[in-house]
């Protein structure tokens, strides 16, 4: 019997009822003042990007900026997420055949995962890091709303060295090129929030330090900046891997589409930073 990864955070990070979820997604894309306000900007040169992963009422409108740049012919999404709980393998593929959301199921590209495992010895099939994790799951309803039929390769990451990130990024770039040779359009996504639970002013300062390195396509600089300045960017490893892959693929630029924080959605003294960043050829 095929393994299915059921929704873990439907009803908390986003609505569990399909019509309510569709309504909230529409609000993120069209109505919310922090979102793109219905402006779609399909970008043929889009390689991938960084997108936040908090509850939709906080980060959904910010995430919608990147998803509004997608063309609808993408066939494969390699989605790098965070292992917030630190359980299991530090680089984990999902052994499930599909992931379920209130909007339906998304097939996992198991063949692509097997190809990556042959190249990266620390990459393993491990359901544990994915079981209760939200960072990949919250992206799926957005993907389902803007794409047709697509395959997903979810990879959960924690506690990697710079060399690990480089090796995985290089291998992902080779997989991207293999798909491209088959005319299979692929997108690379890193799921990450920025700094956590400081004042809006301090969050802005620390976020900008990290974003400077993301926009410079500088993976080593990003990891060093985050570590030296104690920036609590939970998805730093997914983002560093994304940048290594992007550089190997010849990315030419990284553009900031939106930067905001949780206090922009609801007043609070301690906030979490969010950004949507497009990485392009």
Q: What is the pLDDT of residue 102?
A: 99
**CA–CA dist 51, 16 (Å, integer):** 21
**CA–CA dist 180, 174 (Å, integer):** 10
Number of Cα atoms under 13 Å in the Cβ half of residue 243? 27
The helix, strand and coil proportions of the chain, stated in percent and rounded to the nearest 5, come to 40, 25, 35
Question: How distant is the alpha carbon of residue 191 from its chain centre?
Answer: 2
137-159 burial: b if 16+ Cβ within 10 Å, else e: bbbbbbbbbbbeebbbbbbbbbe
Number of Cα atoms under 13 Å in the Cβ half of residue 51? 31
Q: Which DSSP category does 192 fall into?
A: -
Q: What is the pLDDT of residue 29?
A: 99
Q: What is the pLDDT of residue 149?
A: 93
Topology at the third CATH level for domain 37-280: Protocatechuate 4,5-dioxygenase; Chain B (3.40.830)
78 CB contacts (<8 Å, ≥6 apart)? 48, 112, 153, 155, 172, 175, 176, 186, 187, 188, 189
Are residues 104 and 180 in contact, defined by beta-carbon separation less than 8 angstroms? no
Q: Which stretches of the chain score pLDDT less than 70?
A: 1
Q: Mutual orientation of helices 162-181 and 236-248 as an angle, nearest 10°?
A: 50
Q: What is the pLDDT of residue 207?
A: 99
Instruction: Report residue 94 as tokens.
Output: 């999902």
**CA–CA dist 23, 29 (Å, integer):** 10
Q: What is the pLDDT of residue 211?
A: 99
Q: What is the pLDDT of residue 1?
A: 62
Question: How distant is the alpha carbon of residue 194 from its chain centre?
Answer: 12
Strand partners, 256: 277
The secondary structure element, H or E, covering residue 23 is: helix 18-26
Q: What is the pTM (predicted TM-score) of this model?
A: 0.98
Q: Which DSSP category does 14 fall into?
A: B
Q: Which of 144, 126, 121 lies closest to 83, judged by CA?
A: 126
């Amino acid at each position: 019997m095929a393994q299915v990864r059921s929704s873990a955070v439907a009803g908390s990070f986003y609505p569990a009822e399909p019509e309510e979820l569709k309504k909230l997604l529409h609000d993120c894309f069209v109505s919310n003042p922090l979102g793109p306000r219905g402006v779609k900007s399909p970008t043929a040169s889009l390689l991938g990007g960084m997108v936040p992963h908090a509850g939709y009422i906080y980060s959904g409108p910010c995430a919608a900026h990147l998803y509004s740049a997608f063309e609808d012919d993408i066939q494969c999404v390699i989605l790098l997420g965070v292992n917030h709980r630190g359980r299991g393998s530090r680089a984990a593929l999902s052994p499930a055949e599909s992931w379920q959301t209130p909007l339906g199921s998304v097939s996992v590209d198991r063949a692509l995962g097997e190809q990556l495992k042959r190249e990266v010895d620390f990459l393993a099939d491990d359901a544990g890091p994915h079981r209760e994790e939200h960072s990949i799951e919250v992206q799926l309803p957005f993907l389902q709303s803007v794409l047709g039929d697509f395959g997903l390769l979810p990879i959960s990451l924690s506690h990697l060295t710079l060399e690990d990130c480089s090796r995985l990024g290089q291998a992902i770039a080779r997989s991207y090129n293999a798909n491209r040779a088959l005319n299979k359009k692929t997108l690379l996504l890193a799921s990450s929030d920025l700094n956590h639970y400081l004042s809006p002013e301090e969050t802005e300062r620390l976020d900008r330090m990290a974003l400077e390195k993301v926009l410079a396509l500088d993976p080593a600089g990003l990891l060093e900046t985050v570590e030296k300045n104690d920036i609590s960017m939970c998805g730093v490893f997914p983002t560093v891997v994304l940048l290594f892959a992007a550089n190997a693929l010849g990315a030419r630029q990284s553009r900031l589409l939106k930067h905001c924080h949780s206090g922009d959605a609801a007043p609070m003294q301690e906030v979490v930073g969010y950004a949507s960043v497009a990485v392009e050829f």
